[in-house]
Structure 1
Amino acid sequence: MSSTATPQREVFATRGAFIFAAIGSAVGLGNIWRFPYVTYDNGGGAFIIPYLVALLTAGIPLLFFDYAMGHRSRGSAPLAFRMATKVAEPIGWFQTGVAFVIGIYYAAIIGWAGCYMFFSLNKAWGDDATGFFTGTFLHAADPGVSFEFVPGILIPVILVWIVTLGILLLGVQNGIARFSKIFIPLLVILFLALVIRALFLPGAAEGLNALFTPDFAALADPAVWIAAYGQIFFSLSIAFGIMITYASYLKRKTNLTGSGLVVAFSNSAFEILAGIGVFAALGFMASTQGAEVSDVADSGIGLAFMAFPTLISEMPGGGLFGFAFFACLVFAGLTSLISIVQVPIQALREKFSLGNKSSILIVGGVMALISILLMPTVTGLYVLDTIDAWANNLGIVGAAVVGLIVVGWFARKLPVLRNHLNAISSFKVGWFWMIILGGVTTLVLAYMLIHQIILYATEGYEEYPANVTGIFGWGMIGLLIVASIVLSLIKWPKKTLEDADAAIADSVAEKELKGEH
């Protein structure tokens, strides 16, 4: 074996370490602030039916696809796609680029949550949680582009990046895995305590009734099914390089499908737990205000930083409840951010033969610098919201659709990936997996993508001015496409390709195909 500058590949020491890290990536902010409202808004209890269908026909099949791609090639997203077929490499770089831009704004939200942990203790927002968040805290100006800094946000964002890069510098096993093994159980315990507290609040039953009372008529609406696929898709960390990268750190004989089922169902269980806690709390809030649950229900940033502070002000022991709630957001956010940032670090490490620490400092440093320059500004909220909408609804979905079409339809690699999964896994996949992945999943996601492109092109987004959506929406997607093509034209180090070829040749499935079993 030649001793070139290519860094030694890190691995997860155990399958359990990988599962904790993968759950840590999947369980993020969207589980806590997106799933409850999406369920409520799309048929309540009846939404569980399309949600489970989407989990079984898109979430888990795509998770297996990502695992097989990363584990078979032992490579980052660009390398994994290249080893499937050369023309697919730009898809891997595009996924890497999506992770890059998501990491830039994700750090800001964690910084906000960190501030609100302490704001909760003395209810710093007073009687106007919405005005405090947008005005006093963010100093949000009218939607536009401005680089006027907000010092109160700048320092927390810097701290988030210091913690994230510090954990990554410790390595895959000592950093990512150890952090996840500590903070995921802590997150679950803390969130369980929150849910139990919320269930004993007056009005909690009304909130749960609003969430779980089924509206079966909603199942006739295609938009409800699209919402279910969207929720599964965004909450499992699939199709933007994370699970490909994490699977590449697994030892050669690892139960991939069994691990995938544990991760997928753990993620869904946490989402349902979050729904119970959030709507029990919203039921209390509605009863206190003499309003309907529908009047106080919200999602995303509005739920976390406007509705919940109002709730904290009204409930007994609200300060401690608020501290715990925002601590949950910080823990869930950090475990996800670590996995997001690792995607471009590993991709550029392999492409340019960078050392482990130098790749973290260069790539992570650039991400941190952009994040620090862009997010803690008076227009940071609108920039964040726009990047989030385009990165998720067009970037991730587009990468998944094109990836499935190129790798599945044109390169016809689904049988190869199926064999790789089956050779080392307890839960076997067959023709059904390939048909679902190449057919149902691809078509549903293609419909979602086309629908969203038409919507943004014709109606814009949130009445934001064209320069905001043009630069941080369409411009960002265009830049990622160009960067993906340019990076694909750069030659890979010979040793990197040799290692990937050796990994594929060494896989159990490939040996069996060659009669070496």
Structure 2
Amino acid sequence: MSVQEKGEQFSSKWGVILASLGMAIGAGNLWRFPRLAGQYGGTFIILWFLFLFIWSIPILLSEFSIGKKFKHGVISSFAQAAGKKYTWMGFFITLCTLGITFYYSVVTAWGLRYVGLSTSLLTDKKALEGLNQDFLEVYWQSISTGSYLTVGIHIGVVIFAVFMLYKGIQQGLEKVNKILIPSLLFLMLLVAAVALSTENGPKGLEYMFHIDTALFFNSKVWIEAVTQSAWSTGAGWGLMLTIASYSRDKEDVTFNILVSGIGNNLASLIAGIAILPSVFAIASSDAQAISYLQSGNTALTFTIIPLLFAKIPYGEVLGVVFFVAFTMAAFSSLISMVELCIRTFTDLKFNRTKASIITGGLCIVFGLPSAMSLNFFSNQDWVWGLGLLISGLFINFAVQKNGVGKFKEEYIDKDSSIIIPAIFYKIAMYLNIGIGVFLIWWWMSQGYSENPWFKDGVWNFFDVYSNATIVTQWVAVILIGILLNKWLYKKFVK
């Protein structure tokens, strides 16, 4: 089905903007951002906003304009933008994002499990009173590893996502986001308002925006800021390119990207305003609250949030609202990822129904290991989450191939109501090459595995967090892409 058909375009610019916000606002906004804001406060927030404009927005502008110009999915559009010899790079971007898609339905399933837990606490006062961290940690382990109920929900989530999308863009993706995004923002604002109304809640807000100038000299804060921006906004995922392939011919590139990028950051701030005051509300002292936040507890969402809300007035209701919002955020990102896969198959001349069925089958089958094993989930999140930095560098490469100034003038500025300075875009794109390479090196040099490359003389591929597992999976996809480069170009472009 041609994307030029009326049914395969968004009906208005707000349809595109809502889809872009749905893609960007995900579980990371409610999961990772509050933890980082809790660790580093206003210093992190300033740097995080800085990298929104240095890394994320320039790459998103590039992605969107490529999709708008060529009106196809990632592989086809990228090949036309970068050149036939580099079709394999578009293949890598697609496979990297699909690697995330296959486990993201599991995140949505976890959200639904916690909606169920929170709902049960509404009616079981005894269980609510006896709620403690040990119980929550056991519950988390029980749903994240070896749970057939989680597997069943994962399958149901995929089927529902595909059903929402097979009808097309206007009747599928656009209609879903018109409901999801306003509802999600309303729920997050509700949680934030209640959290701030607690006795010590405002102290959490003061702490969140407190600026510690000494942290500007801490390299880790800078690295956390750029990686959070890159992953949260969806820069380099190919999702913005996919959304833009359904845009109207005169779509305003710069306006759409600025609204979606800034809107994503505001959603993260709202999530932080909901979580940090809650920590102060239940802590026995300010010192205890600060100590907990600065510990950087990665289990904040699943093993702490239910406990936080259980200790404040109407918290059990707030817990349900929070996890409904979390599930909606995860699902809004998931449907954009699923659409990328559907778009890939429609580029291969499958009709939308067949493309949707194939996509659903792939997501169910390849998502099963992550639904059954938290270690497998963590490995895939580790490998392909970091792989997004390579995808961002590939998008940058396509821009460089065209000439940065020429690309901006011919791809971005056309039909844009806001013209960003050429010098800003050029500096950002050249600077991002160094940023991307440095981040990949830094992340892999941190020693997250005891044996990052070899264990007892054997290539340590099966270690969840080893560099060996990262490199092996990246190289496999790149080699397959290079070997199939001519075939991919023939199938997706010619």
Distance 1:217 1:258, change over 3 A: same
The Cα RMSD (Å) is 2.7
Shift of 1:421: 1.7
What are the equivalent positions in structure 2 for 1:139-288 lying under 5 Å apart?
Answer: 139=142, 149-287=146-284
How many residue pairs were aligned? 478
Q: Distance in 1 between matches of 2:487 and 2:196?
A: 56
The equivalent residue for 1:341 is 338
What are the equivalent positions in structure 2 for 1:80-479 lying under 5 Å apart?
Answer: 80-84=77-81, 85-123=83-121, 127=130, 130-136=133-139, 138-139=141-142, 149-287=146-284, 291-295=288-292, 302-350=299-347, 352-371=348-367, 373-377=368-372, 380-393=373-386, 395-404=387-396, 406-412=397-403, 415-455=406-446, 459=450, 467-469=462-464, 473-479=470-476
**Contact 1:31/1:235 (<8 A) preserved:** yes
Shift of 1:364: 2.7
What TM-score comes out, normalization by structure 2 length?
A: 0.89
**Contact 1:237/1:243 (<8 A) preserved:** yes
Shift of 1:6: 6.4
C-alpha offsets along residues 451-492 of structure 1, whole Å, 9 cap, x if unaligned?
A: 11233587568xx98623268644433333234334433154
**Contact 1:296/1:307 (<8 A) preserved:** no
Distance 1:31 1:171, change over 3 A: same
Q: Distance in 2 between matches of 1:347 and 1:202?
A: 52
Distance 1:6 1:426, change over 3 A: closer
Q: Distance in 1 between matches of 2:484 and 2:9?
A: 26
Structure 2: stretches of 5+ with no match in the other structure:
122-126
Structure 1: stretches of 5+ with no match in the other structure:
142-147, 499-517
Distance 1:225 1:137, change over 3 A: closer
Shift of 1:330: 0.9
C-alpha offsets along residues 299-325 of structure 1, whole Å, 9 cap, x if unaligned?
A: 686111101011133222222111100
Shift of 1:277: 0.9
User: What letter is aligned with 1:135?
Assistant: V
Secondary structure at the aligned position of 1:46 is classed as helix
The equivalent residue for 1:512 is none
Q: Distance in 1 between matches of 2:44 and 2:75?
A: 36
Distance 1:414 1:285, change over 3 A: farther
Secondary structure at the aligned position of 2:413 is classed as helix
The farther-off stretch of 382-391 and 5-14 is 5-14
Q: Distance in 2 between matches of 1:216 and 1:135?
A: 39
**Contact 1:120/1:309 (<8 A) preserved:** yes
Distance 1:130 1:467, change over 3 A: farther
Q: Distance in 2 between matches of 1:188 and 1:384?
A: 28
C-alpha offsets along residues 180-225 of structure 1, whole Å, 9 cap, x if unaligned?
A: 0111101111111111111112221332233222101111222222
Secondary structure at the aligned position of 2:288 is classed as coil
Secondary structure at the aligned position of 2:462 is classed as helix
Distance 1:398 1:126, change over 3 A: farther
**Contact 2:42/2:208 (<8 A) preserved:** yes
Q: Distance in 1 between matches of 2:103 and 2:183?
A: 24
The equivalent residue for 2:11 is 13
**Contact 2:39/2:296 (<8 A) preserved:** no
**Contact 1:407/1:413 (<8 A) preserved:** no
Percent identity for Structure 1 against Structure 2: 24
Distance 1:233 1:79, change over 3 A: same
**Contact 1:74/1:249 (<8 A) preserved:** yes
Secondary structure at the aligned position of 1:207 is classed as helix
2:28 paired with 1:35: no
**Contact 1:77/1:244 (<8 A) preserved:** yes
Shift of 1:418: 3.1
What TM-score comes out, normalization by structure 1 length?
A: 0.85
